[in-house]
C-alpha cells in the first residue's frame, strides 16, 4: 500500500476507536516506545484506557497511558513550554480541556476517582490532570508525524495514545514475527507493518 493510501486509512481506523499496532523501521532504544514500536488509540475515547489495559496490555485497568502529540500543537493541550521528544516530561492538561466535575465526582476517593472523565482526552489524563507527554517532530520521525497529521485531519485532534508494543511481562516487539504474534494474542484490531496492513477479522 502506498503512503498516500496508508495514512488516511489508519487515521480513519483510529478515529473509529480501533486499536492499532504500529511497527515502522528500526526499533527505538531507550525506556519508551516513540512511534516505531507502538500501540496506538484515540485519547478522546472514554473507554480507551480500560480497553488497552484489560484487552491489550493485560494489566490493571487503572494504569495510565501517555499521549503522543504533534510538537506544533502541544500548547493546545498541555502546559508545556519545551519539547519532550522522549516522553519523559510530565505536564498538566490545559485548563480549557478539563471538564467541570459534578459534586459527586469531586467527592470520590481512591479507586473510584479513576473512572471519572476529567478532560476532553480522558484516556491520557491522570487523576491529577497531568500527562507524560511525547512531542512528535517531523525532523526526527516523519512517518509518525504524518500519521498524527492525518489523524488531526480526520478528527481535528493531533494527539494519540502511544504505549509500547508489548503485553505485560513481555519485551517490546522487535521483529515483524514478534509483532504478529502479539497482535494475534491480544484484541488489537489492526496491525501495520511498514506499508502492510493486517485486519484482525481477516486473520
Higher-confidence residue of 140 and 104: namely 140
Give CA–CA dist 46/68, Å, rounded.
17
Q: How many domains does the chain have?
A: 1
Which domain CATH number covers 95?
A: 3.90.870.20
* pLDDT at residue 114 is higher than 80: no
C-alpha distance from residue 136 to each of 27, 68, 75, 184 (Å): 16, 7, 13, 28
Per residue in 27-54, pLDDT (tens digit) is: 998 889 999 999 999 999 988 888 888 8
CB 173 within 8 A of CB 38: no
The residue range of the domain holding 56 is 3-202
Q: For residue 69, what is the enclosing H or E element?
A: strand 66-70
Q: For residue 115, what is the enclosing H or E element?
A: none
* pLDDT at residue 142 is higher than 80: yes
Amino acid at each position: 500500500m502506498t503512503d498516500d493510501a496508508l495514512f488516511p486509512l489508519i487515521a480513519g481506523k483510529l478515529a473509529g476507536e480501533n486499536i492499532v499496532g504500529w511497527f515502522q523501521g528500526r526499533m527505538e532504544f531507550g525506556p519508551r516506545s516513540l512511534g516505531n514500536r507502538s500501540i496506538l488509540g484515540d485519547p478522546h475515547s472514554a473507554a480507551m484506557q480500560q480497553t488497552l489495559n484489560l484487552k491489550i496490555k493485560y494489566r490493571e485497568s487503572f494504569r495510565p497511558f501517555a499521549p503522543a502529540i504533534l510538537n506544533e500543537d502541544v500548547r493546545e493541550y498541555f502546559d508545556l513550554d519545551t519539547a519532550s521528544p522522549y516522553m519523559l516530561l510530565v505536564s498538566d492538561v490545559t485548563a480549557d480541556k478539563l471538564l467541570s466535575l459534578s459534586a459527586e465526582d469531586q467527592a470520590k476517593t481512591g479507586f473510584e476517582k479513576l473512572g471519572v472523565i476529567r478532560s476532553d482526552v480522558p484516556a491520557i489524563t491522570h487523576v491529577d490532570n497531568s500527562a507524560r507527554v511525547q512531542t512528535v517532530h517531523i525532523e526526527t520521525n516523519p512517518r509518525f508525524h504524518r500519521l498524527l497529521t492525518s489523524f488531526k485531519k480526520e478528527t481535528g485532534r493531533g494527539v494519540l495514545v502511544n504505549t509500547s508494543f508489548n503485553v505485560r511481562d513481555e519485551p517490546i516487539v522487535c521483529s515483524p514475527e514478534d509483532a504478529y504474534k502479539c497482535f494475534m494474542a491480544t484484541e488489537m484490531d489492526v496491525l501495520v507493518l511498514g506499508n502492510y496492513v493486517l485486519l484482525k477479522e481477516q486473520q
